[in-house]
Homo-oligomer: A and B are copies of this chain.
Amino acid sequence: MTSQLPAPAESLATGQRSLGDPSVRYPLWPPLTEGCPVTSTDSVAYPVEVDYAYDKLPADFFATAASRPRGHERWAPLLPPLHAPGLAEGGTPLLPLEDGVWLKDESRNPTWSHKDRLNRVAVSAAAGAGAAGVVVASSGNHGASAAAFAARAGLRCAVVTSADVPPAVDAFLRAYGAAVLPVPIEQRWSLLRRIVERTGYHPVSNLTPAAHTGHGFGPEGYKTLAYEIFAELGTVPRAVFVPTGYGEMLFGAWKGFAELVRLGYAERVPRLYPCEPAAGGPLAATVRAGALTHVPVGPTAAYAIACPVGGHRGVVALRESGGGALLVTDEEMAVARAELARNGVWAELSAAAGLAGLRQQVARGGREGDGPVVCVSTSSGFKDRDLLAPGPSAVVDPKDWAGVERRLRG
């Protein structure tokens, strides 16, 4: 049934193909949600990506961008079909941090994280496929974002989450009417799969525990990061520092820049720097080992990017852009988070990994100090687990001016 669904006229998407072997192609519908069944092996699971009729793109597509509606609609020809209604996702500001250094503040999205770029596309795939709902494994931003877009599209949403989901995020998930299902972490993937099989809900997050393949359409939504940065700077930056968990945003940003090169708007892609938690960096480990590597994840408060395994998308982005995999400690992220706060941006700890990566790279004599450089900040401080510590501020006695003065000095 869904294979006959026509794409909205604006999308130039033509089909899916394997990221392991681009000659392995599939029709656009149905969206593949478990990677490429042909090229994947026991040791490497290859995702699919979407291909487009790039030759049909109007020559003035980027020059006229600002005159088109905001949200993914602005870039619809280069995205999978947008069957689900939007929330004016993306279009986030590039804030100057210092000369040549820009912050892409993704907390300005509809659910205050970058995940909205993916979920507009992934929930559109679910709507286009005729699913009654979506299901997502997430302890945070991804789940809330999926829940919001599902609600707006009139679809049900189930979020399989971990038992230690931060309280504010739990409330956030339930606010959009999602069914929140906390389970012990090792049972996440099996419950997700069971829900897909028994209810027909469309999975908008990863379904393959061996390595991350995720949704075939979703990461295409992150291409808009590259389009926006190019449109606003008028050029591609020298480098982009990206907080990285499974590497979907990293890949999407790379692909967007690669399309700019392919279309003749840019001469090169920026060097991309995935910034993983030092407590566990599967992409860094994979680069070192030369093969997909699982890692143990030690204690870290950067829960949004703490993953034991990455995926092939990150490997492609890193290899093709000539960047480097960085590992940043919780302490380095906390320092970067404080620097962002001094600049008026309250970021989640994980969100500060990009700036932490830049600072580390420069401190070690790296070459990216001369800009223009963009650090992506993925989300707001409201998402952090340590939000409610250390307790509320103590009440002040206004008559005790010396006490007030001490508090003013901080």
- The residue in chain B whose Cβ has the minimal distance to the Cβ of A148 is B344
Report Cα–Cα, A158/B144, bound state, in Å.
33
Of residues 312 through 362 on chain A, the ones whose CB sits less than 8 Å from some CB of chain B are: 341-346
* Beta-carbon contact of A170 and B396 below 8 Å: no
Of residues 339 through 394 on chain A, the ones whose CB sits less than 8 Å from some CB of chain B are: 341-346, 380-382, 387-388, 392-394
Q: How far is the CB of A80 from chain B (nearest CB, A)?
A: 19
* Beta-carbon contact of B393 and A168 below 8 Å: no
Interface-forming stretch among A43-51, A64-72, A244-252?
A: A64-72
B residues within 8 A CB of A222?
none
* Beta-carbon contact of A346 and B401 below 8 Å: no
* Beta-carbon contact of B408 and A195 below 8 Å: yes
B residues within 8 A CB of A91?
93
Interface size on A, residues (CB 8 A): 73
* Beta-carbon contact of A194 and B398 below 8 Å: yes
Report Cα–Cα, A202/B195, bound state, in Å.
57
B residues within 8 A CB of A53?
none
Q: Is A264 an interface residue (CB 8 A)?
A: no
Which of B198, B397, B408 makes the CB contact (< 8 A) with A156?
Answer: B408
B residues within 8 A CB of A380?
112, 382
Which of B182, B184, B198, B381 makes the CB contact (< 8 A) with A393?
Answer: B182
- The residue in chain B whose Cβ has the minimal distance to the Cβ of A192 is B398
Q: Closest 3 CB pairs between A and B?
A: A88-B93, A152-B344, A148-B344
30 contacts between A and B (CB under 8 A): A66-B66, A87-B95, A87-B344, A88-B93, A88-B105, A91-B93, A105-B110, A110-B345, A111-B346, A112-B380, A148-B344, A148-B346, A149-B344, A151-B342, A152-B344, A158-B408, A161-B393, A167-B387, A168-B168, A168-B388, A171-B387, A172-B381, A175-B341, A175-B381, A177-B341, A183-B396, A187-B398, A190-B398, A191-B398, A382-B382
